[in-house]
Structures are given as structure tokens and as C-alpha cells.
Chains A and B, each alone.
Chain A
Amino acid sequence: MPSLGADMQRGVLGHWLVKPGDRVSRGDIIAVIGTDKADIEAEVFEDGVVERLLAKPGDELPVGAVLATIRGDAGPPAPNEPSAPAPPPAPASVRASPLARRLAAEWHVDLASIAGTGPGGVIERHDVEAAAKHVPPPEPARPGASEPSVALSGMRRAIAVAMARSNWEIPHYYLETSIDMRTALAWLEQANAVRPLKDRLLPAAILLKAVVRALAIVPELNGHWVDGQPRSSAAIHLGVAVALRQGGLIIPCIRDAGPRSVDDMMQGLRGCVERARSGRLRTSDLSDATITVTNLGDLGVEVVHGVIYPPQVALVGFGRIRERPWAEDGMLGVRPVLEATLAGDHRASDGRDGARFLDALDKLLQKPDTL
């Protein structure tokens, strides 16, 4: 069972997409895993032949439990016993993915009334979506009636656990700076003027690229706090907070963001956002982010004071780019200005490191053609 974040303790096998004897290659999707937040497509990380499927659809297993064995093309066969004892399957008279259960609860859909179309009759997201179209909206509460208690959804619970842990464990410090975006936006406008729609860049792409370049200057902010020590990461896996239309958020990551060009960053962002919003995230999308970037500017927010996602040691926040009076060289003008913030883990870095990061970010955005 892959770990898809520090807050994930267990997962449910939704269904298999392979059977014993199938040949698989690195990157193939072999199963769908249900987590509190979403259904995730599990990839395989080596070439080989599926030997045994040890878990059954509906089994709830701890992170680290072996789901299947794959005989690699080279080397001895993989172990064929679970590394952790698998608990008995979660009692469930209706077989449904966790995401389907959550949506059914939110949309007042009775799972028992749905015929699942997943393997083995497992009810999946699209089954609930189809059924929800026939469910009348709940009656509005009567005036004066007490508010009904609402059970926390799986996603809300997962966010609550991670954020509570963050505020409990991590001594945050916050820094903020205003960045003149005139040059960067002019560069973007010029770049987009000659591009077809599908290849256009969003400001987020150059912001992410600038973050990556600034992290190369201040690597203390890129990594994890593990076993009482900071561990900087050579690779930059950029977690990008994505708000979901049905509520909540999920943080897929753009892996190996260091060498990516701005265009490549835009493609990575597009892939993450589209897979997150369509419920088709992969295990590699959710593993090992080394820093998170959250951009709430689209929602009109001016300044973001974020909460670090443990075990990461920093979070970068971007607000809305808006026109503001801007004094420079004794002259007052109007500029598009972005408020950039850094939340740092004071165990792993100091305010000086954070200040160097924001200063580098500003300088990089003044020369977008060099990103």
C-alpha cells in the first residue's frame, strides 16, 4: 500500500487492473487505491510479470502492506508475503470506493440502491454521479430548527489531521514581500501572443519556475524534517495545492521540477490539476513533495499565510496580482503587484534563509526571460 502523504495511515484497494501473468512496465497503472481524499491510480515502478495478487478489492490495509508481487525481469523474485500483517477486510455490505462513499454521503445517495460498474461490482465515483442526478435535493431546514450535526468527510478529516499535526509540531515563521510583476506579465503576454490556446502559459507557471530557481539558491527550504533533523532534498518535487470544486483540497506534486522549463512546468501543472479534478491522480502525483506552493489569488485573496504540510519544512503562498501604487526612484506609478509569502519551519531554517528566498524570487521574476 503506497504512502500518498504523511497523513495517510491506511488505504483501501478499489480494484485491480491487472491479473496474475500480465506483463507490466514501469509507469503502468495496475490498481485503484481509495484514500480519504480521493481514488488514486497506483503505478508500478519496475518492469516484470504480475505473480500474485495478495489483496482483494475492498481490503483496507496499512501503508506498507504488500498488495501484489511482481517478478522483475532481472534479479530474484520479489517477496511474496505481506511485509505487514493485513487486517481483516473492512466490514462493508456494499462494496464502494472511499471516494464513492464520501460523494454518496454528501449527495444523499443510498449506496445500496446502486449497481456498481467497477470490477466485481465495486461502486465507483461515476456510479454515484449518475445516481445523484435522480436524487431530489434535501429539504431546506425549517426556520428555528437546530442545525444538524454534519459528520466530517474523509477529506476534511485528513486535512484536519495533517494541519493539526503541523500546528502542533512545527514552529512556523512567516515572511512576506511585494513583487512588481510588470516585467513578468509583459513577458507572459508577449509569449502567449504567438501561442495557440492549448500552449498558453498562466502566471502560475512562471511563479512555480521562479520558486524552483530560488530553492536552488536556498536549498534549506526544500526537503523534510525527519527524526528530529532537517533533510534537504537534491530533487525538487513541487507540491501544488489544488482546490476541488466539490470542496476540500489535494496537493499533487510536479516531480523533478528542477530542470523543467516554464513550458514544461505548465504541462506539469496542467497534468496535476486535471488529474486532481477528474479523480484520476496517480501514486507518483502524491508522493514525496519537498515543498508546497499554494496560490489563492484566483479567489481574490491578497496575502496567504499558509500552514506547512508535514514533514515538509516550508510553504510558499501567492495572492492575487492587483494594480497598486508603486514608488520607485522617487516616482509614483501603478504596477501589477503580487504578495508572496513564505511559511518556514524554524527548526529547519531561519528568517534570514526565508528572506534570501523571497529576495531571490523577486529578482528572478524581474528577469522572466532567464527563467
Chain B
Amino acid sequence: MTKSEIEAAVFAALRQIAPEVDPTAIDRELPLRDAAEIDSFDFLNLLIGIQERLGVEIPEADYRRISTLDSLIAYNSVFAANTAPFPPLAYPPAES
């Protein structure tokens, strides 16, 4: 799966919970929950939507690694081919 396909899937999941948000226009380095004005409930639904599209089940322990749109796409780019429920935590590297 290409990065653009991953991005399209993430954008589609985001549009589903925040239809008025244009994912191409939000600041990709800001915390996603601030940039898209989504709450914890929306965030969980976003991850469920991504899982339905890409098969990636992101463990709660990795939430801090997917705080921005860019990091969310990068994370899924690594694990999209791995449909195991709890992928290893080696990448992306933890924030220092």
C-alpha cells in the first residue's frame, strides 16, 4: 500500500467524524485533536475508522506517537501491511 493510499484512508476516516474539516488544509504538525477540533470520543472513532480501512489496530500505549496528522499517517504507513492486533512498538521512535 502506498503512502498516498494510506493518507487517503486516514483522510476518509477523518472526514467521517468531522465532515466540515478539510484534512488537506489542516496543519499537519499541530496536535490533531486541536487542529481538527476532535474530542476523545471522536479520536477513538477515528482510530476505529482507520482500522476498518487499513486493518491497523493502534494500541492505546502508542497514542502519544500519533498525536499529529503526519505522525498518524507515518505510523499507519509502517503498520498497514501488518494486521496483527498489537504491532510491535519499535517504530516510530518514542519522543525524547
Contact = CB atoms under 8 A, between A and B. Distances in A.
Interface of A: 189, 192-193, 196-198, 200, 202-204, 243, 245-246, 269-270, 273, 298-299
Interface string B51-64: 10000011111000
Nearest to A129: B19
Nearest to B60: A192
Contact of B44 (A189, A193, A202, A299): A202
B41 A202 contact: yes
Contacts of B37: 245
Contacts of A269: 41
Given A196-B85, A204-B41, 15 more contacts: A189-B61, A197-B47, A197-B57, A197-B58, A202-B41, A243-B39, A245-B19, A245-B20, A245-B37, A246-B20, A269-B41, A270-B41, A273-B41, A298-B40, A299-B39
B41 A189 contact: no
A193 B59 contact: yes
B48 interface: yes
Contacts of B19: 245
Interface in B19-38: 19-20, 33, 37
6 contacts: A193-B60, A197-B44, A197-B57, A202-B41, A269-B41, A298-B40
Interface residues of B, number: 18
Contacts of B74: none
A198 B60 contact: no
Q: Which residue among A197, A203, A204, A246 has the maximum number of chain B CB atoms within 10 Å of its CB?
A: A197
Given A193-B59, A193-B60, A245-B18, A198 B48 contact: yes
Nearest to A189: B60
Contacts of B58: 197
Q: Which residue among B19, B20, B44, B57 has the maximum number of chain A CB atoms within 10 Å of its CB?
A: B44
Pairs A-B, 8 closest by C-beta atoms: A298-B39, A192-B60, A197-B48, A273-B41, A202-B40, A298-B40, A197-B51, A197-B57
Contacts of A270: 41
Contacts of A189: 60-61
Nearest to A194: B86
A189 B37 CA distance: 24
A196 B60 CA distance: 10
B18 A203 contact: no
Nearest to A191: B60
Contacts of B61: 189, 193
B40 A200 contact: no
B44 A200 contact: yes
B61 to A, nearest CB: 7
Contacts of B40: 202-204, 298
Contacts of A273: 41
Nearest to A203: B40
A200 B18 contact: no
A278 to B, nearest CB: 11
B82 to A, nearest CB: 15
B40 to A, nearest CB: 5
A204 B33 CA distance: 17
A196 B57 contact: yes
A273 B61 CA distance: 25
Contacts of A298: 33, 39-40
Nearest to A296: B39
B25 to A, nearest CB: 14
Contacts of A299: 39
A269 B41 CA distance: 9
Contacts of A193: 59-61
B95 to A, nearest CB: 15
A197 B43 CA distance: 11
A102 B75 CA distance: 40
Contacts of B48: 197-198
Contacts of A246: 20
A203 B39 CA distance: 12
A193 B63 CA distance: 12
A202 B41 CA distance: 8
